[in-house]
């Protein structure tokens, strides 16, 4: 029927004119954390929510997750009011620097979160096994979480976020404090989620990583969305072109330079050897290829 929105056309997250003010205790004043924020995250996108500390990213995320109530405005998850508990069926959340119950093993942790999502019996066991395999913690499944490294905690956190197979993942600094190899693993996982059609809302200060994986970004500053759009459009320099040539002979390079010189208004700004990234170099020299771990 025409008045029913199709499942795919409903945005994963819809934020409309959202504002949040925190009252200052014992004073008739309040601090505005978010001011009139409106944005949509389409299903299947990896959306980067960026901004300096105190810009309102975490508050926005918490409002979307129903942990904080908005002063005004509305947030929806796949068309459902995000203040409703049932909207969280579709969401997995990994907070920044998470700690889980130290006395539980990795497997027990996932079983606990699975039970909260209504999983039981063989289905729960199978799901737990798959998630442990997915995040590479099968061998640490019977170890207590209290003995996990930072990277392992992030991975078990990611696994618990996925336990009910949500269509939306909200990740707050998922690679904070994780070594480059672990960071790359998490990045690859996020790219894998994207391939599977899972929507990801990512908050991170690691802009290089955001650039690698996000389709679209929004930049918050002092609670206001100051830039928003597809990443490639926002960061591309419209009047410049980059050519990367492989095994180009010196004659060809001279011809290209001459052609540029002959064209009015064109100018060769720079000619240099492309560089690998420091991350790739580090992983090569340490042999920490995630595929071999």
Judged by the rule CB under 8 A, the positions of this chain that interact with other proteins are 22, 62, 65-69, 85-86, 88-89, 91-101, 103-104, 112-120, 123, 126-127, 130-131, 133-136, 157, 160-165, 170, 185, 188-189, 192-193, 195-196, 198, 290, 293
- Classify residue 56 as exposed, middle or buried by CB count within 10 Å of its CB (0-12, 13-18, 19+): buried
Tokens of 75: 């947030």
Distance (Å, whole) CA 183 – CA 200 = 16
- Our CB check for other proteins shows the closer of 50 and 145 to be 145
- Our CB check for other proteins shows the closer of 36 and 98 to be 98
Nearest one of 143, 188, 172, 164 to 49, comparing CA atoms? 172
Dihedral, 48, 74, 59, 165 alpha carbons, nearest 10 = -60
Pairing state of beta strands 13-23 and 30-41? antiparallel
Distance (Å, whole) CA 265 – CA 250 = 24
Distance (Å, whole) CA 69 – CA 143 = 37
Output the smallest distance, CB 190 to other proteins, in A: 10
Output the smallest distance, CB 54 to other proteins, in A: 16
- Classify residue 290 as exposed, middle or buried by CB count within 10 Å of its CB (0-12, 13-18, 19+): middle
- Our CB check for other proteins shows the closer of 3 and 103 to be 103
Output the smallest distance, CB 61 to other proteins, in A: 10
- Our CB check for other proteins shows the closer of 37 and 219 to be 37
- Our CB check for other proteins shows the closer of 33 and 219 to be 33
The string of DSSP letters for 118-152 reads T--HHHHHHHHHHHHHHTT-GGGTTSBGGG--HHH
Output the smallest distance, CB 148 to other proteins, in A: 13
Output the smallest distance, CB 117 to other proteins, in A: 6
Q: In sequence order, which residues have a C-beta less than 8 Å from that of residue 68 and are 6 or more positions away? A: 20, 59, 62
Output the smallest distance, CB 281 to other proteins, in A: 22
- Our CB check for other proteins shows the closer of 40 and 89 to be 89
- Residue 13 near residue 76 (C-beta atoms within 8 A): yes
Output the smallest distance, CB 4 to other proteins, in A: 20
- Our CB check for other proteins shows the closer of 184 and 216 to be 184
């Amino acid at each position: 029927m025409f008045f029913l929105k199709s499942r795919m056309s409903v945005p994963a997250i819809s934020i409309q004119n959202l504002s949040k003010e925190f009252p200052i205790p014992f004073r008739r004043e309040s601090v505005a954390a978010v001011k009139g924020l409106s944005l949509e995250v389409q299903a299947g996108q990896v959306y980067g929510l960026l901004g300096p500390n105190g810009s309102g990213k975490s508050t926005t995320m918490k409002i979307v997750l129903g942990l904080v109530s908005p002063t005004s405005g509305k947030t929806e998850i796949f068309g459902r009011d995000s203040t409703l508990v049932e909207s969280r069926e579709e969401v997995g959340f990994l907070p920044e620097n998470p700690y889980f119950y130290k006395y539980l093993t990795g497997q027990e942790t996932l079983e606990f979160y699975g039970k909260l999502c209504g999983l039981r019996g063989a289905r729960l066991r199978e799901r737990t096994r798959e998630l442990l395999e997915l995040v590479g913690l099968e061998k640490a499944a019977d170890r207590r979480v209290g003995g996990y490294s930072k990277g392992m905690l992030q991975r078990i956190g990611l696994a618990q976020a996925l336990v009910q197979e949500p269509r939306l993942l909200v990740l707050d600094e998922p690679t904070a404090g994780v070594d480059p190899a672990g960071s790359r693993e998490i990045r690859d996982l996020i790219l894998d989620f994207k391939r599977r059609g899972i929507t990801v809302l990512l908050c991170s200060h690691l802009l290089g990583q955001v650039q690698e994986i996000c389709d679209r970004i929004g930049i918050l500053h002092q609670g206001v969305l100051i830039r928003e759009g597809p990443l490639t459009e926002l960061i591309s320099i419209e009047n410049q072109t980059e050519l990367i040539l492989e095994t180009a002979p010196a004659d060809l390079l001279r011809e290209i330079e001459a052609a540029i010189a002959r064209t009015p208004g064109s100018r060769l700004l720079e000619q240099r050897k492309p560089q690998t990234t420091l991350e790739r170099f580090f992983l090569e020299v340490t042999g920490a290829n995630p595929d071999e771990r």
